Chains A and B, each alone.
Chain A
Amino acid sequence: MKNNTIQSPIFWGNHAPLSTLVSAGLMIMATSRLAFALALTVALVWVNMLTVLIVSVGKPILPKKGLEILRVFLASFFGSLYLLFSYFVNPFLAMEITFLITLAPLYCIGSGICRRTADLDPEDAVLKAFLEALVLGSILIALALIREPLGFGSLSFPGGPQGMAVLVFSGTLYFPVRVVAGASGGLLLLGYGLSLFRRFKARHSGGEAKQ
């Protein structure tokens, strides 16, 4: 059952993060700070990869009936383990993004990655899960790189006793635009991101049609 094809393009395809909008909540909440986006990217990769790995490797020992429900529980289980480990490593950051981490399993299930990779080899399935989580993670990081400097006038990285190390931009001519840091700023950027995505997707599909 060798299947090396990864059919749908992960950035412009029908299951791309901006195409399905399963992850819209994450894009609004997790992009206010770079540290949150980085920690959540690791959570998404962890949950996606482990869930898909168990589902594809453990196929013979998984029940046929209720498999959909079991996938939800598996993803939530790995999400909860990630949160637990985060509390050991960086308790304040874990506390701050608890709600966001609980959304990572929802993204994994909502994107339908387990269903779509059911017929692939375990290596291909895990690779696809990794790439899809990474694409969403990159979008989160890119948005955070715009929102945090504009909204807070700083850049943060996970670590340190206060949960994150913050580099504050100072200067008399610089002041943060607070609206960008809030949910309204996230929605604005998401809107711009969506319109860009549609434009490039149309161009990409036009190019494919010509070929």
Chain B
Amino acid sequence: MQNTEWVPEKLKGAAFFLAWLAGLFLIAGLAWFLSRPVRADISMRNINTVLKNARELRQLEAPLADKSIPRLKAAKAAQLGTWYSLHNSEDRAVVFSIMTDGILAPYLLFVSPRGEMGEPIPLGAHSAQMLERLPREVLQTYRKRLLAGDALLSGEKK
């Protein structure tokens, strides 16, 4: 009789524990998933403000992954940064970050339809101060990888 009571008690404990974990995952997951469009919008607005302050006429329009690009290609290209289409230009923009000493420094690069890249524009005040301290080789490596991402989006093999 004792044994039969013990098993449901143990199962009840495990189920209770799993319910707590599932609840926490569910709340956090829903909060992050449902707020994604709002977060993307806030980020884009902030980036556009920074571009305006830097007297850059080009402005971000929308994330490129939302448009007519195959999902697999977009996912591969997004491994290093988020790609955006522009309001008043044929160019693309990519927002990426470089990690130094545990801090992620965000930058933006414009890429022309022919695959030419501009200079990185620092998005944060910290990124601006870090840009002059970054070794050129690190930036070069990031540029090469971003160019590979751009080639994927353009459908060209470079």
Contact = CB atoms under 8 A, between A and B. Distances in A.
A97 B17 CA distance: 31
A186 B103 CA distance: 14
B72 interface: no
Interface stretch (B26-34, B55-63, B86-94, B144-152): B26-34
A98 B126 CA distance: 14
Given A32-B101, A96-B103, A64 B46 contact: no
Contacts of B24: 73-74, 77
A154 B97 contact: no
Contact of B126 (A70, A80, A163): A163
A69 B104 CA distance: 29
Given A63-B20, A81-B28, A96-B105, A87 B42 contact: yes
A91 B125 contact: no
A84 interface: yes
Contacts of B128: 162
B158 interface: no
B67 interface: no
Contacts of A36: 103
A156 B84 CA distance: 30
Contacts of A33: 126
Taking each of A25, A91, A99, A182, which has the highest tally of chain B beta carbons within 10 Å of its own beta carbon? A91
Contacts of A100: 102-103
B13 interface: yes
Interface in A94-108: 95-100
A45 interface: no
Given A95-B104, A156-B125, A63 B16 contact: yes
Interface of B: 13-14, 16-17, 20-21, 24, 27-28, 31-32, 35, 38-39, 42-43, 46, 49-50, 53, 97, 99, 101-106, 123-129, 133
State the 6 A-B residue pairs at the shortest beta-carbon distance, nearest first.
Answer: A29-B102, A162-B125, A63-B17, A92-B124, A66-B17, A163-B124
